[in-house]
Amino acid sequence: MQTTQQFSITLPLEMAEAVAAKIESGRYATVSDMVRDGVRALLERDEAVERWLREDVMAGHAEYLADPSKAVPAEAILGRIKARRAAQ
């Protein structure tokens, strides 16, 4: 049973140069090593987003449904964000 699959990809020149630079620096031995690391990071990020949606967003939504009076209007949140950015 085969445990790997070969792909042929085309990258924009800027990305191809970044790949070459990583290999030349010694960070990765091959293009395949770098692509594997990138795909692994992407899968980890996707899982983290899914976990956040399930655990935090859904919990917050359930809390809102249980008691809508605790909700904070979007305008108030946007105001807080703008004030925080202005202070930086």
- Specify the pLDDT at position 70: 86
Within a domain: residue 6? no
Instruction: Write the DSSP symbol of residue 30.
Output: S
What is the extent of the structural domain holding 69? 13-87
d(CA 71, CA 6): 51
pTM of the complete model? 0.69
Number of domains observed in the structure of the chain? 1
Within a domain: residue 17? yes
Within a domain: residue 1? no
pLDDT in tens, the chain (88 residues): 889 999 999 999 999 999 999 999 999 999 999 999 999 999 999 999 999 999 999 999 999 999 999 888 999 999 999 999 999 9
